[in-house]
Each structure stands twice: as C-alpha cells, then as structure tokens.
Structure 1
Amino acid sequence: MDGNAGNPKGNTLVGKTLCNPIIIYLLDMKNLPRVLFVDDQAEVLEELKNHVSELCEPYASLSAEEGLEIFKKNGPFSIVVSDQILPGVNGSEFLAMINRRDPYCSTMLLTGHANYSDAMRAVNNGHVFRLLEKPYSPDSLKEAVEAGIRQRKLMESEKVLLQETLVGAVNALTDTLATVKPLFFGRAQRVKRLAGEVAMYLDFPHVWQVETAAVFSQLASITLPETEAENVFLRKKLHPHVLKLVGNFPTVTDHLLGHIPRLGEVREIIDCLMVSPKPYQTQEKTLIYQAYEILNTVLEYDYLEVAGHESEIILATLKGGNKRFNPKVIEAMSLLLHKSKTRYLVNELPFEDLKVGMRLAENLHLETELLVAPKGTDITKHFLQVLHNYDTCYEKSPFPKLIKVFVRD
C-alpha cells in the first residue's frame, strides 16, 4: 500500500518532515529561553554554547558592542553571560548596560581570581545575578543557567502580579479622586495616558511606573483648600501661606506613598520631579531620570494646554523655550498627538448618549457652574455612574443639552 495513500496532495511533509527529530528540535528551539554569551575568544564561546544547548537557545558575541546589538535585535534574553575581560568596556560595565535595558534579565559574570574584586563590586551594585569562577565545570554552568532561567520567570511573574494589582488600584483611585478634585485628577488622567503612550513609544521598560507616578504626582492636591486649588492648578500668583502648603507637597506625597510596598522607583521619580533631578543624573539611576524626563515634559504640555495654547505652539515652546526638555520625548509626543487627532472626531451628544471609550472635548459644568470634569477626561463606567447620580438629584438635567466629546473614528 502506498505510504501517501489517504493524505491530501502536497501533505507528504506531515508524514515525513515533521517526524524528523532534527526538525522537531528546531521547532522546539523557538520555545527555549535565550541565553547570550559574550567572550573575546571564539573557542570559549563554542564550548559554552555546546554545554547548554539542550537547556536554551544560545547566542554568542565576541565583544560588548556586538553583544548589545544582538541583545536588542534578538531579545528578550533570559540570561546574559559575559567574561570580565573584554575589548573596550569590561564585563561588569557591559552587564550594567544590559541591566538598564532589561532589569529582569539574569546577568552572570565569568571571572578569574585576578579580577575577583571588580566582579564582587558588580554583584554588590546589583548588576550581576551570579558569578561563575574560571575554570568552570559543565555541571556548574548548567546549574547556573537553570537558576537564571528560573529567576527570570520568577521576576516576570512578580512583575505581572504587581502591575495588575497596582494598576487596577491606581485606576480606581484616579476615578474616585477625579470626582472630588476634578481639576487635579483630570490632569492626572490626561498625563497618565499621554506619558504612558510616550513611554511605550520610547520602549521604556517600566511604563506602569511612569503612569503611576503621573497619578501620584497630583496626590498632595487633596490637602489644598478649595478656595486656593484653582490658583495652584493654573500656576497663578499665590499667597505666602499657600506657597508654604505647596512647598510641603513632596513631603506629603512621599509620606502617603511610604505606606505602599514596592513603590520605591515611583517615589524616586516623583522626588526627581518635585524636588530635584540632579541626584538622579547617574548611570545607576538612568531609568528614574528617563521616567522623570517623560513625565516632566508631558506635565508641562498639559499646563500650557490648560492655559489655552494650541498644540503646535506648545510643542514649539517646549523645543525652544528656556526650560530644557528631552528632544526625543517631544518628538514622540508630537507623533502621538498627531495620531490621536486622526483617530478621534469631535461630536456633540446629549448626556444620555455618552458611551464608555469617549473623551470629553471641553470642561463639563453643571448649570450652577460647578466643574464636574475637565476637558480630556476619559468616559468610564465609573464616570457615567457619577453623571447619573448628579442627574437623579435634580428635577431636570443639570447638564448642557449637548456635551462636546471626542469619539473614535
């Protein structure tokens, strides 16, 4: 009987190729964790790759410069293993660069007795997950790679849990406080959205930290008397006693965040924003400073937009004004704002026709002139419930007959 009988024409590969153990191995390689080895000796790299080929998909590089290119092009990597002695930068400096690009990557340093003190310094600085002493045994290398893969999975699981829990809590907090302090937490919503988009566009590794810092940067506003809140929001001239209150914002914010675990980096971003960026202009704090640059630029954009300036004028001011802002952040904002304009249309709808996903295109006031929500507020289920509550408290609708909103095209 013909071995291909019953198979549709052209499907002979199903019976033969996919049963080939080499093909199966190559297909499985796609699911293996990736490990990058960096050493200036080709024979050492080949040996390292052969020892762990069953555990991972190994990559190799002869220099730190080439290693960074491979890391960027073929990542994410579970592990990067580097020799301490490399042309150009040394191994611990190279792994510090890797750590800044992907803090969840397990980094390992191959070192001999001669440079052991440098290696220990790298471990103490948090740039290295494990030291591998030369000469190493194949078994110790395999054990280290297995531990590094487990560490990456553990850190990623923790990251997902933290983000899902914290982001959900921050969203709930923002929605709630937006009804109490609509000016400041309307700003928090707008800045969180745009800063998050900019961070994603620039491949910032911790977008949630930027978004969380955007919300918490407005948190101290809850301590302001209502009579002074608008003056602070609009950056008007303030009385000395109000200036003193605003001067305490960093302390108030840090005290409030101090009770929430795992927010160390967010607190540093806000400290950088509200106190001084100078202590964070170091290699170790590169990510904190980058987050600050994003958040600071977007906040300045929001201040100027609220003041009534057009988007093009604001972007030109940010580029050429007295204050210095990162040109890459401004360019990213410009592109994203342009895309947003093409995605949304302005429409005027009665209160009853508002839907989740729309966005206010103007400040929403009651007939009494009370501000319910500022321009740019996202229409969520919570927000619609707030509007419904207002509506039920009046004999006739307290809202304008038509509300101007942005609607997705």
Structure 2
Amino acid sequence: MTERILCVDDDPNVLQAYQRALRKQFHLEIALGGEEALDAVIHQGPYAVVVSDMRMPGMNGVELLKRVKEHAEDTVRMMLTGNADQQTALDAVNEGHIFRFMTKPCPPETFAKALAAGVAQYRLIRGERELLSKTFGACVKVLTDVLSAANPVAFGKAARVRQLVRLICEEMGLKSWQIEVAAMLCQVGCVGIPAEVLSKAYEGKALKPAERKMFESYPQASRELIAHIPRLEEVAEIIAYQQQHYDGGGFPGDGTEGERIPLGSRILKVALDYDSLTSLGGSKETALAEMNDCPGRYDPDVLAALSRALAITNVQVVRRIKMTALVDGLVLAEDIRTSSGTLICAKGQEITRAIRLRLRNSWTNLDIPAAVKVFMPVQLADQITFQEGWQDFAKTEL
C-alpha cells in the first residue's frame, strides 16, 4: 500500500514491534508521543490512518486524535489501548471521532485487518471528496457562465470583484473556497433587475424609490437562489450580508455588526465598493482615501489588507485580439457591445469557453467588432511570441 500510516505510543518497544510485524504490508511510520505525532501530521502529512495509544505523558490519545481531526479531517483515526474502560471509549468516539477502538494485547492479524479497513475508509473519503469537488466546481462554472450570459453588466462586476477578493484573501492568508465562490455568485440576485437600473446603481446615479428598493433586495434574492444548493449554505450567508456596513448600517440592516458579520461578507463589501469607485474613473489612491474616510462602513483589517495588496503594482499589457484567437483565462479590457449599444460582455469578465462561443456567435450574427481588447500580465506577454491575431495596445496598472 502506498498510503502512509502513523502509529503513536510513548513506548519505543511497542512502536518497533509494530514496524517489525507490519512493515511488509503497510507503509508504517512511528511517533513517540502525542506532540511528535501532531507535528508529523501537520508538517509531514497527509496520513491515511493515525493509530494512537490512550495513556501518554503530555498529550493523551483522545486529545491527539481530536487535534488530528482539526488539521487533517480526512485522516482515519483509531485508538489501541490497554485501558478499556467505558469512559475512555466514549471520549474517543465523541471527541476523537475514531473509526476503530481496539484493546491491548491486539493480535497482529486483527491489527492488520483494522489498518486495512482504515486505509479503505480513507480511500472512500478521498474519492467521494474528489468526485464532489469536481462535480461541484463544474456546476458552479456552468451557473456563472449561464448567468453571465443573462446579465453581462452584473457578472462583469462579479468578475472584477472576484479578482479583488482573491487579492485580499492572499494578503490576509485566507484559503476559503466559500469566499471566492461567494464573489463569483454575489450578483446572482441581479438577474431580475433591468440592466438600466443596474447601470445607474453601479454608476452611483440617483435611483427612484422603487428602483432603490429593487436594487437593495438583490443580496437577499441571491441568498434565496443558492441557499438550498448542497455545500453553498455558508456561501449564501456571505452573499446575504455583502452590503452590510461594519457598524450595522447598510442592508439588510438587521443590526448585525462587527465580527458578527461573516468575514467573507466584510471582504465582499470592501471589494464591491472599491470596484464601484474605480469603475467610475477614480484612481486607486482616491478610492482608498474615500473608503478610509468612512470608518464605520468597513472592517479596518480588510480595508488595510486591500491597501497592502494594491501597493504591489500589477502591471498588465492590454492587447487587441481577434475573436478567433481568444483563449480561456484572459480578461476583457473593454465592454463588448453591438452597434445598437446592446451589451454582450462586460469589461472585467474572464474569458471562458462559454464566453468565447457567445462572442464568436455574436461576431458572426450581430454587428460587433471583429477584435477585442484583453488584459494580460506583462510577464506572460513577454513570453509570448508575436502571432497573427495579437496586437500590443498599451500598458495599464490594475
């Protein structure tokens, strides 16, 4: 078996006996005590199975397996102990969430069967997680592609906000797929809002009372659209509070404030407002200064993270590219409209297969330009040799 198993005990003789008896069947590693084992899980993992003794000086087996679950959720946890009292078993199950509870002395054949079952369980967990991840990712991508076609204005904004959210999360050391998916879907509730109302709202123009009510309902509409999709419950909560101010103002305006607002929502609020200010033509310095003048509106830590991230200037090349030369991953540097002014794709949208098909179909059947401007990192542009369909246009700072 290629999967690694970690055996933990405070008696080196017991550990050596494990290795002698099982080395031909399993990839077995050992740790002398709970602290050494936890360090191995954190810095040398992943392990398919961790088997621990109960009574060890310092960190006991229940505490170790509880900590293992926190750092390596997929790792299967087992306990092998000479202390077979009921309370030990209950603690191991309730706190350590163990897969098997075994008592010493444990015959080698029984121990080997338990380890094999643990490895099989680990493979099952990882297989299901990988399948769910791929299926889930594909579903989110299809959803965003379809919604971007339905409302290019809203999803052009979502694409720009997603890039800002990535910058903030990287600066804060956050790794949360929920926050990124929330950024991708934050404008879902705008699909029922007329494009002209959205444009007015995004451009900071005055809205009529009915239009204002319509626009302010979009976070809750977004929440209701995705709340019942498996694995998106937390995403729905983040989206619901994306326009809530740090001091409790904004909307939905239910009094939730400060740290009680989901962190993802606080990040989205900063990204959304920064995008609105810069989309109106303001510089990043002006936008940040204006946001810093509204201390009750934003989480100060999130706003500071955005400021630090933007201090590292990201120079990009703008190139004009023929429709036939578009590739996935590029970002539109301009709105794409028909001659009558109908928006096909908004500036800031990332090129995907669905976007390429829509642009090429529109180019064939509608009156739109045969080439578009796209952003490309200057480092990447320097690596690409000139080819037909590409034209250097300008450099810009994002």
TM-score (norm. length: structure 2): 0.70
The residue identity in structure 2 corresponding to 1:383 is I
Aligned position for 2:336: 364
Residue of structure 1 in register with 2:299 after alignment: 324
Is the deviation greater in 82-91 or in 318-327? 318-327
Q: 1:206 and 1:87, CA in 2 relative to 1: closer, same or farther beyond 3 A?
A: farther
Match of 1:70 among 16, 40, 54: 40
Report the counterpart of residue 249 of structure 2 in structure 1: none
**Cα separation, partners in 2 of 1:300 and 1:163, compared to 1, 3 Å:** same
Q: Give the match for residue 91 of structure 2.
A: 118
- Residue 130 (str. 1) matches residue 102 (str. 2): no
Equivalent position of 2:190 in the other structure: 221
Summarize the alignment of residues 5-404 of structure 1 with structure 2, pairs less than 5 Å apart: 32-110=2-80, 112=83, 113=85, 114-122=87-95, 127-137=96-106, 138-192=108-162, 207=177, 209-230=178-199, 233=202, 252-257=221-226, 259-260=228-229, 263-264=230-231, 266-275=232-241, 293=263, 296-297=266-267, 300-308=270-278, 310=283, 322=295, 323-324=298-299, 330=305, 334=309, 341=314, 344-349=316-321, 354-394=326-366, 397-399=367-369, 403-404=372-373
- Partner Cα distance (2:174, 2:120) in 1: 24
State the Cα distance separating 1:305 from its structure 2 match: 2.9
Give ranges in structure 2 of 5+ residues lacking alignment: 245-258, 382-398
Q: Does the 8 A contact of 2:155 with 2:346 survive in 1?
A: no
- Residue 141 of structure 1 deviates from its aligned partner by 2.5
Q: Report the structure, 1 or 2, having the larger helix content.
A: 1
Letter in 2 for 1:79: V
The structure-2 alpha-carbon separation of the partners of 1:203 and 1:304, relative to structure 1 and needing over 3 Å to count, comes to: closer
Deviation, structure 1 residue 33: 1.0
- RMSD of the TM alignment (CA)? 4.3
Instruction: Report the Cα offset of residue 267 of structure 1.
Output: 1.1
Call closer, same or farther: CA 1:140–1:378 in 2, change over 3 Å.
Answer: same
Distance 2:14 2:36 in 1: 16
In 1: Cα distance, 2:104 partner to 2:32 partner: 19
- Looking at structure 1, the residues matched to 201 and 62 of structure 2 have their Cα atoms a distance apart, in angstroms, of 47
Kept after mapping to 2: 8 A contact 1:360/1:406: yes
Offset of residue 301 of structure 1 = 2.7
Look up the SS of the partner of 2:115 in the other structure: helix
Corresponding letter in the other structure for 1:33: E
State the Cα deviation string for residues 208-242 of structure 1 (Å, max 9, x = none): x5544433333222233444334555677766656
Give the AA of the match of 2:330. Answer: M
Q: Hey, what's the Cα distance between the residues in 2 that align with 1:391 and 1:133?
A: 68
Q: What residue in structure 2 maps to residue 5 of structure 1?
A: none
Corresponding letter in the other structure for 2:358 = V
Q: Distance in 2 between matches of 1:32 and 1:302?
A: 46
CA distance in 2, matches of 1:358, 1:107: 44
The Cα of 1:268 is off from its aligned counterpart by 1.8
Following superposition, the deviation at residue 201 of structure 1 comes to 9.7
Q: Is the 8 A contact 1:174 1:189 kept in 2?
A: no
Q: Is the 8 A contact 1:35 1:57 kept in 2?
A: yes
d(CA) in 2 for partners of 1:102, 1:47: 26
Task: After TM superposition, give the deviation of residue 178 of structure 1 in Å.
Answer: 0.7
Q: Is the 8 A contact 2:153 2:195 kept in 1?
A: no
In 2, Cα distance between the equivalents of 1:328 and 1:304? 10
Deviation at 1:319, TM superposition (A): 9.9
Q: Whole-Å Cα distance in 1 between the matches of residues 60 and 218 of structure 2?
A: 43
CA deviation vs aligned residue, 1:239-282 (integer Å, no higher than 9, x gap):
6656665676566445433554xx23x312431453599xxxxx
CA–CA distance in structure 2, aligned partners of residues 359 and 225 of structure 1: 25
Q: In the alignment, is residue 406 of structure 1 matched against residue 375 of structure 2?
A: yes
Matched with 1:10 is none
Q: Size of the alignment, in residue pairs?
A: 353
SS at match of 2:334: coil
Question: Relative to structure 2, which stretch is displaced further, 376-385 or 360-369?
Answer: 360-369
SS at the partner of 2:47?
Answer: coil
Tell me the equivalent position of 2:253: none
5+ residue gaps, structure 1: 1-30, 278-288
After superposition, the Cα gap between the structure-2 partners of 1:71 and 1:318, relative to the gap in structure 1 and judged at 3 Å, is farther
CA contact (8 A) 1:36 1:59 kept: yes
1-side partners of 2:33 and 2:325: how far apart? 61
What's the counterpart of residue 392 of structure 2? none
Q: CA deviation at 1:321?
A: 7.9
Q: Distance in 2 between matches of 1:319 and 1:91?
A: 49
Question: Shift of the alpha carbon at 1:150?
Answer: 0.9
Decide whether the 8 Å contact of 1:305 with 1:311 is kept in 2: no
